[in-house]
Structure 1
Amino acid sequence: MADSQDNVINLLKKSEEFLKKKNIPSARLDAEILLADLLKIQRVKLYIDFERPLSLTEKDEYRERIVQRSKFKPTAYIIGKKAFFDSEFFVNESVLIPRPETEELVAWVLEEYPNKENLLEVLDLCSGSGCIGISLAKARNGWEVSFTDTSETALEINKKNIQEILNTEKKFELYNGDLFSSIPSEKQFDLIVSNPPYIPEADKSTIMPDVADYEPHLALFVSDFQGFHTRILTEAKTKLKPNGRLYLETHPRYSGWLKETGLSLGYSDAVLKKDLSGRESFVRFQI
């Protein structure tokens, strides 16, 4: 039988102290997220019923979650989901955890295409969990969104998220291949939106262990940033319709280079956009 030491508030305090000793930066928040998910309640409700005791099974499961987090496993992988835009996405170690910066990319696209009646063909390139394309499709019912990724296991998560979040009979194309390689040669798009791998491999040592030790390196790191992104820009040109646009999330260190390279390759326009932290993290190209 649980005693008063096993209630919500005491376990949160102990977990926070333990995670802090392990140098977890967001110890209290993570302790709350992991417990709220385990108890299947909203995080704010932890403090409404803070004297609630946990059963022995709940306490053991919570302890296991805290131990996993102490080893820097991301909370999103522990609970198997991550909130993004206005949906909750399934995630596992096959896919990158959706970031707030990528929400800004989705918002930018929607701001520039406010007409919900437009019928556009859209590609989520390097789709991972599918968070970009699914968020766009949910906001714009008339858009025909396709997805492509080099990882089969990532596409399985992508497909699961389509089924759970969009809940529609509408068919979505998922292509498995390197960049555009598996997309039919005649297929073109009005918009291509992508958060491709863009961290130079030389920067691996500077990346936090939450990311470097758990998230898929295929979706994060690139050995030759300029060569890889020149390929994206070159191949995207052939897959865009007249007046089509390519939106990229990128490394702020290379955004200026990307803009100039896109213009040199024949794009008619290239625009940089800063994220909320003031970094030039996004580039938009137009045919």
Structure 2
Amino acid sequence: MLRRAAGYLHARGSSSARLDAELLLAHSLQVRRLDLYLQFERRLEETELAGYRLLIARRGRGEPVAYIVGRKEFMKLDFEVSPAVLVPNPDTETLVHLAIERGRGLGAPVRVADVGTGSGCVAVAIAHYLPEALVWASELDEATLAVAAANVRRHGLESRVQLLSGDLLEPLPHDLQIICANLPYLNPAAELPAEVLAQPRGALFAAEAGAELVNRLLAAAPAKLAPGGLVLAEISAELVERLDLTPYSGHRLHRDLSAQIRVLEAWL
């Protein structure tokens, strides 16, 4: 069944067909992925096959695995996800690693913001791995905030991660030391896989060929930052030439594990 399902998904464009097939079968049978191999000779009942086929059909139509199973791992932490939020992307771990590294040199408490928090994965991961951090996370959409709140509770971080409703930096406090953001930055004209397009368009695309929201963030951040504060924003290589970095004394670009430009670091 795994071979057949993986072949079916590969033919429909999945770049991780075998992994998808395993994750969906484990979810369908309510076992660990490891148990698929520990019980490799297990015969599947017709009712089990029927349920699995429904999940494979959904994946074959381009629905992300994370939406089907309702969860996604990020920074070795487990997060609840739904179609209201962007699926946590491993590339975004570059942003989190940088925030943690910069925060460790600042003493306690470290005042961090996560702008447009989505599922809350960035805010939660920073608070989890940087115990001296106090994190404020903003989000405009109420359904998205509900998912973030569930993830904050899931990891027991209610005392150090505060969720705020509002647009970009508007609800955030002042004297922040690090402002993080994984805002929509894709060009609306971009051609993308069905799996990406199945996610909320408002979390993917921005006007001005993707630059609008990141530029709004860069313009507003100095008023919220403490002296010497910095901004860490996920971007693409295509966005670099469209960014206005006038308010900042310096900046650098960081690459992800695939050697792609992934994060802008700008400081006052």
Band the TM-score falls in, shorter-chain normalisation: over 0.9
Partner of 1:279: 260
Partner of 1:6: none
Contact 1:201–1:222 (CA<8 Å) still a contact in 2? yes
Paired with 1:169 and 1:122, the residues of 2 have a C-alpha distance of: 15
In our comparison, the structure showing a higher alpha carbon Rg is 1
Letter in 1 for 2:236: H
Q: For each residue in 1:155-191, what CA deviation from the matched residue of structure 2 results, as whole angstroms up to 9, or x when unmatched?
A: 10000000002x145153212222123336xx33111
Secondary structure at the residue paired with 1:46?
helix
Q: For each residue in 1:214-254, what CA deviation from the matched residue of structure 2 results, as whole angstroms up to 9, or x when unmatched?
A: 10111100122344332111111111111111100101112
Contact 1:270–1:283 (CA<8 Å) still a contact in 2? yes
Letter in 1 for 2:179: I
**1:66-81 maps to which residues of 2 (within 5 A)?**
66-81=56-71
Unaligned runs of 5+ in 2: none
Partner of 1:5: none
Higher helix share: 1
Contact 2:114–2:180 (CA<8 Å) still a contact in 1? yes
Partner of 1:35: 25
Secondary structure at the residue paired with 1:148?
strand
Letter in 2 for 1:163: R
Paired with 1:272 and 1:215, the residues of 2 have a C-alpha distance of: 27
2:188 pairs with 179, 193, 201, which one? 201
Does 193-202 or 35-44 show the bigger shift?
35-44
Normalising by the residue count of structure 2, what TM-score does the alignment of the two structures yield?
0.93
1:121 pairs with 101, 111, 132, which one? 111
Would you say how many aligned residue pairs link Structure 1 and Structure 2?
Answer: 267
Identical amino acids, percent of aligned pairs: 32
Contact 1:116–1:141 (CA<8 Å) still a contact in 2? no
Note the C-alpha offset of 1:284: 0.7
**1:136-285 maps to which residues of 2 (within 5 A)?**
136-165=126-155, 167-168=156-157, 170=159, 172-183=161-172, 187-203=174-190, 206-212=191-197, 214-224=198-208, 225-258=210-243, 261-262=244-245, 264=246, 266-285=247-266
Paired with 2:32 and 2:154, the residues of 1 have a C-alpha distance of: 20
Paired with 2:157 and 2:213, the residues of 1 have a C-alpha distance of: 35
Paired with 2:18 and 2:66, the residues of 1 have a C-alpha distance of: 15
